[in-house]
Each structure stands twice: as structure tokens, then as C-alpha cells.
Amino acid sequence: MKQLGRLSWGIVIYAIMYLCANGLATYGITGGLIPVLCKLVVLVAITTIAGRALTFRSWKDILPYSIAWMFIVIGIDALFTLPLAGPQMYGSPVIWIGYALVALLPLAAPQTRAFEVETSDE
């Protein structure tokens, strides 16, 4: 059950990014650098939170989960976005960069957490 909870972060990442993109579109913020930067900030925040939630000390322990999250996001995109946007959505480098960032950004999570340093009593 713990593994399922850890993998569910892929769905959470997709849902928050979907809400972010639709929120920007609702207010007409669709073109240019501003929506890209907004989505990037949200993606950095949510993937860092997801990576920290795993409570691992090494990026090597996080990697299998972050790759799984990437494939979950790709799968949900294929189910929901592909029928609406069409296969040309895969022609955009932005989508591939986004997928890569879902896999790579959580790997920095251990560096965002302070760990207690063990001292030896000599």
C-alpha cells in the first residue's frame, strides 16, 4: 500500500499541472514566456514536494519513482489530452522537456532537506 501511495504522486503532479494550465487559459494567459514560466515554477514546486515526500536521502532511491511518475504523466496525457490536441502535441519540444523535468526535478529533493549530521563521541 505504501508503494501505491508513493506512485500516486504521478497523478497529483498531472492534476496540479492540468489545473495550472487551465487556470492560465481561463484568464487568457496562453502565449509567450509568462505561462511557460508559471508552469515551470509550479512544476518545480510540486515535483520537489513529491520528491521530499519519499523521505529518501539519495537521488538513486528517488529515481525509480520519478521515472514512474513521468510514465504516469505520459499515460494520462495519452488518455485525456491526445484525443483533444491530436498527435501534433508530441511535436512540441516543450512537452518532452516537461516529461523529462518530471523525472529529473525530484532527484534534487534530498538537497532541499536538512539532515542531522552524526557526530562521533571521541
pLDDT, residue 72, reads 96
**Band (118; pLDDT cuts 50, 70, 90):** low
* 3-class DSSP string for 2-22: HHHHHHCHHHHHHHHHHHHHH
**Band (116; pLDDT cuts 50, 70, 90):** low
Supply 69's cell numbers.
511518475
For the segment 18-73, what is each residue's pLDDT rounded down to a tens digit?
999 999 999 999 889 999 999 999 999 999 999 999 988 899 999 999 999 999 99
Global pTM reads 0.84
Taking 70 as the threshold, does the pLDDT of residue 106 lie above it? yes
Taking 80 as the threshold, does the pLDDT of residue 115 lie above it? no
27, exposed or middle or buried, with CB in 10 Å at 0-12, 13-18, 19+? exposed
pLDDT, residue 1, reads 61
- Tally of residues, the chain: 122
CA distance 55 to 52: 5
Q: Which residue has the higher pLDDT, 3 or 52?
A: 52
- Of 70, 63, 21, 26, whose CA–CA distance to 42 is shortest? 21
Segment 3-25 shows an average pLDDT of 91
CA distance 83 to 101: 23
CA distance 120 to 118: 7
Residue percentage of the chain with pLDDT more than 90:
74
Q: Please state, rounded to an integer, the average pLDDT across all residues of the chain.
A: 90
